[in-house]
Amino acid sequence: MKKIMAANWKMYKTGPEAAATVGELAKLLGGRAPDGREIVVFAPATALERTAEAIKAVAGAEAGAENMYPAEEGAFTGEISPLMIKACGARWVLTGHSERRHILGESDAFVGQKTAFALAQGLRVMLCVGETLEEREAGGLQEVLERQLREGLKEIPADTAPENLAVAYEPVWAIGTGKTAGPEDILEAHSLCRSLLGALLGEKAAQTAILYGGSVKPANAGSILALDNVDGVLVGGASLKAESFLQIINAH
């Protein structure tokens, strides 16, 4: 399985800024993702088309949306549909990011609806899961991961190809805080995710990528990527500059 090196640009970058960063990255990469790696850039909706266009200059890289609404079209002011995402030239969508769960109040059930609908519409989905500090301190890691994965994957189409689904384990206390989970924490959570996926997806679990996210930087990416059951990284802050994202993409 290729390792997935994913950027989440959150609410940063206009269309021209996004295109410029992708253009710079394309030059630095020499027009292709390194062997054994694939690159995904999740960009704001207003920059998605420019990002998808610019990323064509990198073989092995795709653009993704940070959010979508689970309907083909309709009276959902401010939302975007999978069809609109695909029309921008993007292939991926993020679901269940902790900022949407905790700031915007998305429930496990809604995340599940979005994940299933996006897959049914032909998008590749990266489902984010992870515990808050309070949940971790109360010993709730397994319960949270189990609930978020079970509800998140509840209605996915039975014929979902494993390469169209990825899970990102992102402990909420490590996102944007500069605190990275230690190797033992990452090993424990990723192994839990792998076995929970086994119970939910059967054989497909072994080929479903599990990424780590939470304050990944050029300095720690290599050691995180070397851990068992870590099939890539999802990077926020350190992906905003092409040079820093490049170092992560190339990290060993």
Q: Which residues are catalytic?
A: 97, 170
Which residue shows structure tokens 């269940």?
A: 96
| Per-residue contact flags (x/-) with ligand PEP for residues 143 to 172, judged by CB under 6 A | ---------------------------x--
Which among 61-69, 158-166, 209-217, 220-228 is the span making contact with ligand PEP, rule CB under 6 A? 209-217
The smaller minimum CB distance to ligand PEP, of residues 144 and 199, is found at 144
Using DSSP's 3-state secondary structure scheme, residue 234 falls into strand
Q: Tell me which residue of 252, 236, 250, 224 sits closest to 41, measured CA to CA.
A: 236
The smaller minimum CB distance to ligand PEP, of residues 162 and 237, is found at 237
* Run of H or E residues at 218: helix 218-225
The residues near 43 (Cβ < 8 Å, ≥ 6 apart) are 9, 13, 18, 50, 51, 63, 64, 65, 66, 90
Which among 47-55, 103-111, 203-211, 233-241 is the span making contact with ligand PEP, rule CB under 6 A? 233-241
Which among 78-86, 130-138, 181-189, 210-218 is the span making contact with ligand PEP, rule CB under 6 A? 210-218
Contact between 175 and ligand PEP (CB under 6 A)?
yes
In our burial notation (b when 16+ CB lie closer than 10 A, e otherwise), range 57-74 reads ebebbbbbbbbbbbeeee
Could you list the residues that contact ligand PEP (CB under 6 A)? Answer: 8, 10, 170, 175-176, 213-216, 234-238
